[in-house]
């Protein structure tokens, strides 16, 4: 009996150590970033390579204004009142800017739905654990994530989070893959630690509307869908007449979840440089291993009431991809700055006109 | 491009045809802004549950002794974070009216205490003036030639008076703060036609349509949503918690259609479109008459910050023109604002909370008017008429209620609620609310206007030419609260085969989709 008691106590101690060790191992291992696609350039920002260049820098025969000045002259935004009501980096959109936002949202949703994506609207308040499972860090110092008081909830910085969460802890039937969603949400970001001129006006704001594409697919297909996503973005930005380049982001710029990331930067005449308007990431199984999203590779060979486990292949983790279809404030900057006319008005690009009640141009109010 | 012609074209493609691209577009018909009257500016429902302790209000002119400040404070007992411009003299002169109103509103405001504090304040102010006067006398005496002993006595006196004065002035500040805090609890006055009493006393102003008869068993929106794959509450409960949801498939098109159509309809009537911040400073929330720090508050607060999430666009729109003096010529100033709204719904439970009926987050289009005081009754009628026209054109059966005095909440002078018939719930459910807040919000937000321009135009406008600024009146009304509208549309337009018809006016905004059917 004594021997038994000693062994029991010894066992309890060992089991406690086991739990602690497991926890520590898990915590440390969860810091390991996703693997990297072999074609990804190794290095920092400057190593990112250009995959595609569309259009060329527009030449203006008159002094070019930035979106803030255009917005002021055309009565399109109010940053000052928003600073009083909410703080800096908040804004009201007014008049035609509201029509422009609605037009961008409606047109983008329509374009992406045509390509077989299921439309969604999502919660904008989510549990912080979901944010973490997607690869973000709500509790880090200088986090991008707003937290709700007295709660484990946060505001989303992108619809990628609630869409990923949509199928958490699930096993999807292989037959429904690829599962493609196009989600509209507002996004909230603290932008802690961001300062400087790259934050003027609409370029860096705490709240904005975004349409996000998200794909759940089989592992062997994620490279293919990554190409599909970036092609959809490039097609849309081209039809809006923007001059842009698509970058294959270098290894130090990927962030933890992405296996490969393509960013699109569009020419912003007012800033006199390229500014990021979208990002398309292939997260392979990084998010799905955390969110617990798997699929069954094939159906039972013998259909019938009793599906024995022997007939079914074991579930595998899906791959997830996400891509910005439209980040409204950055698009507004592009459209205002690129389409400004000498008389201070702004032309509306063709594809958006039907979505703006036929409005062709934004002019000064009398 | 002919606007009418546009109405027949489609944008979104029917979900059944996702593999075949649709013909070109169009649809959203926002009338050209040139067709609507847009003033040059430069410058600024859904029911909230009753406030347990109404925030204050008042009327007429200004008698406050200190300017509006912005310090941090606790809700009770601390220095008020901001000050409403309250007309204490008017309250004192009309105390019977104010007392009766407080009673009719079932408010906690303590009028006795307020009048008491006001009288004490008056006395204390006089005392302070008296002591200051004495101190001046002493100071003057010291200017002359004096014996050292005389001078010494005067210095002593001066010092005593100064200390006494400091103590009195501290008391004055405390008294003022307490008076302000108590007086801010007084609810707005009440329109004479408002029925006195609780919910059951609310009267019906208008009834449109009649209860639809179905020849088959009626389903509620949750069941319809499940069968037509329109929502997901279960996944949302995992990701976010209860009372959250995803909209999917045609429900997304329906939301977009409702937003686009509503914006378009209201813009046609001369309202300026806006999108607003959804995170605001908590002081703005309070100034509009809500209570972010109350127990069971409806307001979400952001961690480590004085910011909150808005429960309605009324808040940021009201804040748009805070601490401003608007030119009289730009009134009435009419805005139509689109925002997401966030509500904790703390304390709400029961079947009236199933599905989309009571949720933490939703899209809403809100109408807001800043106008001259003498015009607010007129614009209140205009707002409710716009709502009734829209709900009628969607084919809903609804009634407009003139809300009884106990149901008004602190800011509203008068409130019209619209309740629409929801077959799945087998009763009426609120789909909108239109309030006339008169000067309650503007006295807190500091929004005034100059009644008329200078008589003699020219570079130098002497103050003598201009009438003094007055507080504007503010009104707000729900143009479209998306989840409640979705409930109405799904439940009223359901067909026997389980599909749901789309009402006429929304079809062009849904890419021509006429009906929502089961997915194959």
Q: What is the pLDDT of residues B25-41, one digit of tens each?
A: 333 333 333 333 333 33
Nearest Cα to A211, choosing from A170, A191, A168, A182?
A: A182
Among B246-250, B445-449, B463-467, the least confident range: B463-467
CA within 13 Å, CB half, A265: 17
Q: What is the pLDDT of residue B73?
A: 40
Query: What is the average pLDDT across B254-273?
Result: 97
Q: What is the pLDDT of residue B346?
A: 82
Q: What is the pLDDT of residue A299?
A: 57
Asked whether the beta carbons of residue A355 and residue B28 sit closer than 8 angstroms, the reply is yes
First CA to last CA distance, chain A: 97
Count of CB atoms within 10 A of residue A75's CB?
A: 19
Q: Indicate if the alpha-carbon torsion angle A194, A198, A200, A206 is positive or negative.
A: negative
Nearest Cα to A248, choosing from A23, A52, A15, A16?
A: A52
- Of the spans A14-18, B52-56, B73-77, which averages the highest pLDDT? A14-18
In the DSSP assignment, the letter for residue B349 is -
H or E element that contains B431: strand B427-436
pLDDT at A135 over 50: yes
Distances in Å between the Cα of B495 and the Cα atoms of A316, B394, B483, B489 are 41, 16, 20, 12
pLDDT at B171 over 80: yes
Q: Do B198 and B407 meet the contact criterion of CB atoms below 8 Å apart?
A: yes
Q: What is the pLDDT of residue B279?
A: 98
Q: Give the mutation candidate from B37, B234, B240, B368 for the A interface (greatest A CB count, under 10 A).
A: B240
Asked whether the beta carbons of residue A354 and residue B284 sit closer than 8 angstroms, the reply is no
Q: Indicate if the alpha-carbon torsion angle A226, A103, A206, B242 is positive or negative.
A: negative
Burial letters B287-309, b for 16+ CB under 10 A, else e: bbbbbbeeeebbbbbbeeeebbb
How confident is the model over B351-404, as pLDDT tens digits? 567 799 999 999 999 999 999 999 999 999 999 999 999 999 999 999 999 999
Spatial distance between the Cα atoms of B400 and B87, rounded to a whole number of angstroms? 33
C-alpha of B432 from chain center = 13
Instruction: Name chain A contacts of B31, Cβ cutoff 8 Å.
Output: 357
Q: Give the mutation candidate from A76, A102, A187 for the B interface (greatest B CB count, under 10 A).
A: A102
Q: Do A278 and A264 meet the contact criterion of CB atoms below 8 Å apart?
A: yes
Does B32 reach chain A within 8 Å, measured CB to CB? yes
| Portion 330-389 of B in contact with A at CB < 8 A | 338, 340, 342, 360-361, 363
Query: What is the average pLDDT across A215-228?
Result: 98
| Portion 99-128 of A in contact with B at CB < 8 A | 99, 101-103, 105-106, 109-110, 113-114, 116, 118-127
Q: What is the pLDDT of residue B128?
A: 92
**What residue has token string 């799905």?**
A288
Distances in Å between the Cα of A221 and the Cα atoms of A116, A171, A260, A318, A322 are 16, 18, 14, 10, 14
How confident is the model over A322-341, as pLDDT tens digits? 999 999 999 999 999 999 99
Instruction: Name chain B contacts of A126, Cβ cutoff 8 Å.
Output: 239-240
Query: Is A251 one of the catalytic residues?
Result: no
Spatial distance between the Cα atoms of A301 and A311, rounded to a whole number of angstroms? 6
pLDDT at B87 over 90: yes
Share of chain A above pLDDT 70, in %: 94
Q: What is the ipTM of this complex?
A: 0.93
Q: What is the pLDDT of residue B141?
A: 86
**Do the annotations mark residue B19 as ligand-binding?**
no
Q: How confident is the model at residue B147 (pLDDT cuts 50, 70, 90)?
A: confident
Instruction: Name chain A contacts of B36, Cβ cutoff 8 Å.
Output: none
Count of CB atoms within 10 A of residue B316's CB?
A: 29
Q: Give the mutation candidate from A72, A91, A111, A113 for the B interface (greatest B CB count, under 10 A).
A: A113
First CA to last CA distance, chain B: 38
Query: What is the average pLDDT across B187-209?
Result: 96
Spatial distance between the Cα atoms of A42 and A39, rounded to a whole number of angstroms? 9
Q: What is the pLDDT of residue A15?
A: 94
| Portion 187-216 of A in contact with B at CB < 8 A | 188, 206-207, 209
Nearest Cα to A319, choosing from A224, A221, A180?
A: A221
Asked whether the beta carbons of residue A93 and residue B361 sit closer than 8 angstroms, the reply is no
Reduce the DSSP state of residue B266 to 3 states and report it. Answer: helix
In the DSSP assignment, the letter for residue A55 is S
Counting every residue written for chain B, the total comes to: 520
Distances in Å between the Cα of B264 and the Cα atoms of B7, B28, B269, B479 are 12, 8, 9, 11
What residues contact residue B172 under an 8 Å CB cut-off, 6+ apart?
A: B65, B121, B124, B125, B128
Spatial distance between the Cα atoms of A67 and A73, rounded to a whole number of angstroms? 10
Asked whether the beta carbons of residue B18 and residue A119 sit closer than 8 angstroms, the reply is no
pLDDT at B71 over 90: no
CB–CB contacts below 8 A, A to B? 208
Q: How confident is the model at residue A156 (pLDDT cuts 50, 70, 90)?
A: very high
Does A149 reach chain B within 8 Å, measured CB to CB? yes
Transcribe B9-70 into DSSP letters. ---SPPGGGTTS---------PPPGGGS----------PPPPPSSPPP---S----SS----
Spatial distance between the Cα atoms of A324 and A277, rounded to a whole number of angstroms? 8
Does B239 reach chain A within 8 Å, measured CB to CB? yes
CA dihedral B401, B478, B415, B470 (to 10 degrees): -150
- Of the spans A7-16, B62-71, B450-459, which averages the highest pLDDT? A7-16
**Do the annotations mark residue B366 as ligand-binding?**
yes
Q: How confident is the model at residue B452 (pLDDT cuts 50, 70, 90)?
A: confident
Query: What is the average pLDDT across B280-295?
Result: 90
Distances in Å between the Cα of B47 and the Cα atoms of A217, B447, B475 are 43, 24, 14
Does B238 reach chain A within 8 Å, measured CB to CB? yes
Query: Is A279 one of the catalytic residues?
Result: yes
B491 or B348: which leads in pLDDT: B491
Spatial distance between the Cα atoms of B45 and B481, rounded to a whole number of angstroms? 7
In this structure, what token pair is assigned to residue B456? 């003699």
Nearest Cα to A78, choosing from B41, B456, B19, B393?
A: B41
Q: How confident is the model at residue B139 (pLDDT cuts 50, 70, 90)?
A: confident
Q: Give the mutation candidate from A93, A110, A133 for the B interface (greatest B CB count, under 10 A).
A: A110
Spatial distance between the Cα atoms of B39 and B332, rounded to a whole number of angstroms? 9
Nearest Cα to B239, choosing from A28, A63, A177, A167?
A: A167
Q: Do B193 and B402 meet the contact criterion of CB atoms below 8 Å apart?
A: yes
Among A177-191, B334-348, B435-449, the least confident range: B334-348
Q: How confident is the model at residue B467 (pLDDT cuts 50, 70, 90)?
A: confident
Spatial distance between the Cα atoms of A67 and B22, rounded to a whole number of angstroms? 34
pLDDT at B15 over 80: no
Query: What is the average pLDDT across A344-365?
Result: 93
C-alpha of A29 from chain center = 25
Query: What is the average pLDDT across B318-330?
Result: 96
Nearest Cα to A124, choosing from B261, B310, B479, B477?
A: B310
What residues contact residue B210 under an 8 Å CB cut-off, 6+ apart?
A: B397
Spatial distance between the Cα atoms of B411 and B437, rounded to a whole number of angstroms? 5
Instruction: Name chain B contacts of A114, Cβ cutoff 8 Å.
Output: 13, 18, 21-22
Share of chain A above pLDDT 90, in %: 87
pLDDT at A278 over 50: yes
CA within 13 Å, CB half, B256: 35
Query: What is the average pLDDT across A1-15?
Result: 91
Phi then psi dihedrals of residue B205, to 5 deg: -85, -35
Tally DSSP H helices, then E strands, for chain A. Answer: 9, 17
pTM of the model: 0.87
Nearest Cα to A221, choosing from A229, A232, A213?
A: A229
pLDDT at B12 over 80: no
Spatial distance between the Cα atoms of B317 and B274, rounded to a whole number of angstroms? 9
Choose the closest CB to B319 out of A85, A96, A99.
Answer: A85
Distance from CA of B320 to the nearest CA of A (A): 5
Name the packing angle between helices A96-114 and A328-338 (round to 10°).
110
Burial category of A151 from C-beta neighbours within 10 Å (exposed 0-12, middle 13-18, buried 19 and up): middle
Q: What is the pLDDT of residue A357?
A: 82
Query: What is the average pLDDT across A25-51?
Result: 94
Looking at A204, A260, A290, A294, which residue is catalytic?
Answer: A204
Q: Do A293 and A331 meet the contact criterion of CB atoms below 8 Å apart?
A: no
Does B1 reach chain A within 8 Å, measured CB to CB? yes
Q: What is the pLDDT of residue A301?
A: 47
Q: Do A98 and A133 meet the contact criterion of CB atoms below 8 Å apart?
A: no
* Mean pLDDT, all residues of chain A: 93
Spatial distance between the Cα atoms of B38 and A105, rounded to a whole number of angstroms? 24
In the DSSP assignment, the letter for residue B359 is -
The strand ranges marked E within B64-115 are none
Q: What is the pLDDT of residue B78?
A: 62
**What residue has token string 């997304």?**
B252
């Amino acid at each position: 009996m004594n021997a038994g008691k000693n062994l029991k106590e010894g066992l309890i101690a060992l089991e406690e150590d086991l739990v602690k060790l497991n926890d520590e191992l898990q915590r440390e291992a969860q810091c390991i970033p996703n693997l990297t696609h072999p074609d990804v350039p190794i290095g920092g920002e400057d190593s990112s390579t250009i995959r595609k260049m569309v259009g060329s820098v527009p030449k203006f025969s008159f002094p070019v204004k930035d979106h803030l000045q255009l917005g002021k002259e055309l009565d399109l935004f109010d940053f000052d009142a928003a600073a009083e009501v909410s703080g800096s980096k908040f804004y009201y959109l007014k008049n035609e800017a509201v029509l422009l936002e609605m037009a961008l949202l409606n047109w983008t949703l329509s374009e992406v739905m045509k390509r077989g994506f299921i439309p969604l609207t999502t919660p904008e308040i989510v549990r912080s654990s979901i944010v973490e499972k997607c690869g973000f860090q709500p509790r880090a110092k200088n986090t991008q994530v707003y937290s709700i008081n007295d709660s484990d909830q946060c505001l989303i910085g992108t619809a990628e989070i609630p869409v990923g969460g949509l199928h958490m802890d699930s096993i999807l039937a292989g037959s429904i893959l690829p599962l493609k969603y196009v989600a509209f949400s507002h996004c909230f970001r603290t932008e802690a630690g961001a300062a400087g001129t790259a934050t003027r006006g609409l370029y860096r704001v705490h709240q904005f509307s975004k349409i996000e594409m998200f794909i759940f697919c089989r592992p062997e297909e994620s490279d293919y869908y990554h190409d599909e996503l970036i092609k959809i973005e490039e097609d849309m930005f081209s039809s809006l007449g923007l001059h842009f380049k698509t970058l294959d982001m270098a290894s130090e710029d990927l962030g933890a979840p992405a296996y490969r990331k393509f960013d699109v930067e569009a020419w912003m005449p007012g800033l006199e440089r390229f500014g990021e308007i979208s990002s398309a990431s292939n997260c392979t199984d990084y998010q799905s291993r955390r969110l617990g999203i798997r699929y069954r590779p094939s159906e039972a060979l013998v259909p019938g009431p009793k599906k024995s486990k022997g007939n079914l292949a074991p579930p595998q983790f899906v791959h997830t991809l996400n891509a910005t279809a439209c980040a409204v404030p950055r698009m507004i900057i592009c459209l205002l700055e690129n389409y400004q006319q000498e008389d201070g008005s702004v032309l509306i690009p063709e594809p958006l006109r039907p979505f703006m009640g036929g409005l062709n141009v934004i002019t000064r109010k009398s | 491009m002919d606007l009418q012609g546009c109405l027949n074209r489609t944008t979104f493609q029917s979900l059944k045809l996702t593999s075949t691209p649709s013909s070109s577009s169009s649809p959203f018909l926002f009338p050209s802004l040139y067709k609507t009257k847009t003033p040059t500016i430069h410058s600024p429902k859904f029911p909230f549950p009753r406030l347990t302790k109404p925030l204050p209000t008042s009327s007429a002119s200004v008698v406050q002794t200190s300017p509006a400040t912005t310090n941090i404070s606790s809700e009770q007992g601390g220095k008020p974070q901001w000050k409403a411009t309250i007309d204490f003299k008017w309250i004192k002169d009309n105390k019977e009216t104010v007392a009766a109103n407080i009673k009719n509103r079932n408010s906690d405001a303590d009028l006795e205490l307020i009048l008491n504090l006001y009288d004490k304040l008056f006395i204390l102010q006089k005392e302070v003036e008296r002591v200051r006067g004495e101190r001046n006398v002493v100071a003057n005496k010291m200017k002359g030639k004096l014996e050292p002993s005389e001078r010494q006595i005067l210095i002593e006196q001066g010092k005593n008076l100064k200390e006494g004065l400091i103590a009195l002035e501290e008391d004055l500040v405390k008294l003022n703060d307490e008076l302000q805090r108590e007086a801010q609890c007084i609810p707005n006055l009440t329109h004479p036609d408002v029925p006195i009493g609780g919910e059951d006393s609310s009267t019906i102003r208008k009834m449109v349509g009649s209860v639809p008869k179905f020849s088959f068993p009626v389903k509620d929106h949750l069941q319809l949503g499940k069968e037509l794959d329109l929502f997901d509450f279960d996944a949302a409960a995992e990701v976010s918690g209860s009372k959250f949801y995803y909209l999917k498939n045609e429900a997304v098109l329906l939301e977009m259609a409702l937003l686009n159509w509503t914006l378009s309809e209201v813009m046609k009537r001369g309202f300026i479109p806006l999108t607003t911040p959804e995170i605001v400073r908590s002081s703005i929330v309070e100034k509009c008459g809500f209570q972010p720090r109350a127990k069971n508050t409806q307001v979400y607060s952001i961690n480590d910050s004085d910011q909150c999430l808005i429960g309605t666009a009324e808040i940021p729109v009201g804040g748009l023109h805070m601490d401003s003096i608007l030119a009289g010529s730009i009134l009435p100033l009419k805005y139509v604002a689109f925002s997401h709204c966030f509500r904790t719904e703390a304390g709400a439970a029961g079947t009236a909370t199933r599905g989309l009926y009571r949720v933490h987050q939703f899209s809403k289009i809100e109408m807001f008017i800043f106008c001259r005081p003498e015009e607010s009754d007129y614009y209140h009628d205009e707002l409710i008429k716009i709502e009734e026209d829209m709900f009628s054109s969607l084919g809903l059966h609804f009634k407009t209620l003139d809300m009884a005095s106990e149901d008004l909440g602190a800011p509203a002078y008068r409130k019209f609620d619209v309740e629409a018939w929801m077959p799945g719930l087998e009763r009426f459910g609120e789909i909108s609310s239109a309030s006339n807040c008169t000067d309650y919000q503007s006295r807190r937000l500091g929004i005034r206007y100059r009644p008329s321009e200078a008589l003699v135009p020219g570079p130098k406008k002497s103050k003598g030419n201009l009438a003094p600024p007055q507080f504007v009146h503010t009104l707000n009304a729900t143009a479209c609260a998306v989840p409640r509208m979705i409930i109405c549309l799904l439940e009223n337009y359901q067909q026997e085969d389980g599909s749901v018809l789309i009402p006429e006016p929304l079809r062009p905004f849904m890419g021509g989709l006429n009906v929502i059917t089961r997915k194959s």
